[in-house]
Amino acid sequence: MAIAGVGQTPYRRAHADASTGDLVFRAVSEALNDAGFDRGDVDAVVAGVAPDALAGVNCIEKSVIGAAAPPGAPFFRVNTGGATGSSAMLAAMTLVAAGRADVVVAFALERMGQAVTSQQVFNTIFDPIYEKDFVLTTITMAALRASLLMARYGYTERHWAALAARNHRLALKNPLAHLHRDLTVEAVLESPLLAWPIHLYEACPMSEGACALVIAAGDRLPGRGPVAWVHGAASYSDSYAMGDRFDRPEGTLVDLVTLRRAAEVAYRQAGIADPAKEIDVVEIHAPFSSAEVMAYPPLGLCTPEDGPAYVDALIDGDAGGGSGGGGPGPVVNPSGGPMAANPVSATAMIRIAECALQVRGAAGDRQVDGARRAVATGQGGATQFSSACVLAAEPPGGP
Amino acid sequence: MTDTELVTVDGVWNFQYRYFAGETASRFFAELRDERRIVGRRCPGCQRVLVPARSWCDRCFLATTEWVAVGTEGVVEAFTVLTAAFPGLPEPPLAIAYVTLDGAGTALLNFVDGLDLADIDASAALLLDRPRVEVMFHDERHGRMTDFHFRLKD
């Protein structure tokens, strides 16, 4: 099967000029037009929407079914926190693989621009009995991991700042990104400290928008335009309690056990033995620069111990050109990643959409020359959910 | 359309809840309030003592069977210092840490004091070294996680 179409609204702090239905209508219409299908071809719809309180509307997806497909299509909502968008894609794939649908629209909707503040909402996703009192939010949960990475592997505050500056610079070429900031490492380090060691410019913004994918069975695709073939995709879950993930054989809180399993399976399905050499583009779902490094070892880009050196090489590789292509191995985050736009429900789907555009050679100014194979990650629920999705220009088994 | 004044409608979510802790956490809180003890539950499979207490082990899928009082000292596993104010959250600066208490197989989260939070970098440097901390029980206890906090050992 393949991703036959991609549709994205721009991602902005708020789309005050658009209703929720407008956002979904635009993204889904663009994806269907891109695929050469119309709404009558849609067999099922999967909606990705993360916590309702971000938009302040309960079950907001119910109100926008009509923007995606005609009445009658089976409809499912998926929510795995930050991984919602990739989980929606995997659910859509599962419907196709099971023979229950040939053409599925998966859309992910984020309306958090309506929230006056998000951290208070994010505090409510944590356990109210044992943990919520201790200012757990998306920022502090990321900061707990960042400090552990520093203690364990020797990352420094400068690594976080340099990676943030790199992602923001790459986003300058992405018109869909919410933030377009050309920042020096010093400027990042001088931005306000949110929760040690995370500074404001090392944290994702609040963004809203919609992303849509058309997933279609291979036998529905002959004669259509270039598509992004799915070569491998997997998603795994982990134990909930963060405190249970320090002392255990499978890996600590910063080892992303779930992403390691997902990448292993997706690579095996795709026949990839040496990911650092065989993959051209990586889109990592990391809303904080410090979170990005946790994905490198599971993706096979470096060992955990070599992480700081890998970051240094990534930064050095950008020196001069700033295209993101001079580093070791694949190009990481040509879109700028979630640092420049984080519409929570959609962010993991955007990684897949960006990889689809890359392997089709349709990524505009952010296109990586000669990209044929790409991997997208999804990450959610306090590193509880991970997915990996390998896309390529050629169908599995060759053209 | 371009001249249309965009309408926004104000809203607020303010629902009231009563969160049910269940029998196991309720006993954990009673021990904390009445006995100034931190207790966990031992898994008969992996022998881990789960702290805070839970009724089943999600590694072995067995019901935990035994109450165990763990130490009132332990080691910092991970930490952060919240430095920015966010609407609806407590006033910063606040240090939090996951701490594995002596005898426990898992870590629990709470505030840490005994740090000079006027100097964030120095506090962070101390906490990066995985220091030992002790449990400070509050004089007034209500059977809540906030009945204690951690204090850096000298």
CATH number of domain containing A45 = 3.40.47.10
C-alpha B57/C-alpha B49 separation (Å) is 9
Angle at A288 between CA A287 and CA A291, to 5 degrees: 100
pLDDT of residue A313: 92
Contact A34, A214 (CB under 8 A): yes
pLDDT of residue A399: 62
A350: pLDDT strictly greater than 50? yes
**Residue in A311, A34, A349, A326 with CA at minimum distance from that of residue A176:** A349
Q: Is residue A97 part of a domain?
A: yes
Tell me which residues of chain A, numbers 146 to 185, contact chain B at a CB-CB cutoff of 8 Å.
Answer: 146-148, 150-151
In this prediction, residues B80-102 reach a mean pLDDT of 97
Q: Inter-chain contact A193–B84, Cβ cutoff 8 Å? A: yes
Q: Is residue A80 part of a domain?
A: yes
Q: Is residue A49 part of a domain?
A: yes
In tens, the pLDDT along A208-246 reads 999 999 999 999 987 777 999 999 999 999 999 999 999
Q: Inter-chain contact B84–A192, Cβ cutoff 8 Å? A: yes
Q: Is residue B43 part of a domain?
A: yes
Q: Is residue A274 part of a domain?
A: no
Q: Is residue B9 part of a domain?
A: no
B94: pLDDT strictly greater than 50? yes
pLDDT of residue A318: 72
- Residue A138, chain B, CB below 8 Å: the answer is no
pLDDT of residue A325: 63
pLDDT of residue A188: 98
Tell me which residues of chain A, numbers 6 to 35, contact chain B at a CB-CB cutoff of 8 Å.
Answer: 16-17
pLDDT of residue A319: 60
B65: pLDDT strictly greater than 80? yes
C-alpha A204/C-alpha A344 separation (Å) is 10
Domain that holds residue B51: 22-152
Q: Is residue A245 part of a domain?
A: no
In this prediction, residues B42-58 reach a mean pLDDT of 97
Q: Is residue B99 part of a domain?
A: yes
Residue of A nearest to B3 (CA): A17
In this prediction, residues A173-198 reach a mean pLDDT of 97
B43: pLDDT strictly greater than 50? yes
Contact A54, A118 (CB under 8 A): yes
C-alpha A148/C-alpha A52 separation (Å) is 31
A94: pLDDT strictly greater than 90? yes
Mean pLDDT across chain A:
95
Q: Is residue B1 part of a domain?
A: no
pLDDT of residue B1: 61
In tens, the pLDDT along A266-286 reads 999 999 999 999 999 999 999
In this prediction, residues B27-52 reach a mean pLDDT of 98
In tens, the pLDDT along A127-172 reads 999 999 999 999 999 999 999 999 999 999 999 999 999 999 999 9
* Reported confidence tier of residue A321, pLDDT bands at 50, 70, 90: very low
pLDDT of residue A277: 94
**ipTM of the complex as predicted:** 0.96
* Reported confidence tier of residue A322, pLDDT bands at 50, 70, 90: very low
Query: Rounded to a whole number, what is the distance in Å from the CA of B138 to chain A's nearest CA?
Result: 16
C-alpha B143/C-alpha A164 separation (Å) is 42
Domain that holds residue A33: 2-116+206-212
Instruction: Look up the pTM and report it.
Output: 0.97
The count of structural domains within chain A is: 1
Q: Inter-chain contact A246–B78, Cβ cutoff 8 Å? A: yes
Q: Is residue A83 part of a domain?
A: yes
The count of structural domains within chain B is: 1
Mean pLDDT across chain B:
96
C-alpha A61/C-alpha A58 separation (Å) is 9
Q: Is residue B5 part of a domain?
A: no
Query: Rounded to a whole number, what is the distance in Å from the CA of A395 to chain B's nearest CA?
Result: 39
In this prediction, residues B80-103 reach a mean pLDDT of 97
pLDDT of residue A329: 86
Task: Give A-chain residues touching B84 at CB under 8 angstroms.
Answer: 139, 192-195, 200
Q: Is residue A296 part of a domain?
A: no
**Residue in A4, A354, A38, A345 with CA at minimum distance from that of residue A170:** A354
In tens, the pLDDT along A38-93 reads 999 999 999 999 999 999 999 999 999 999 998 889 999 999 999 999 999 999 99
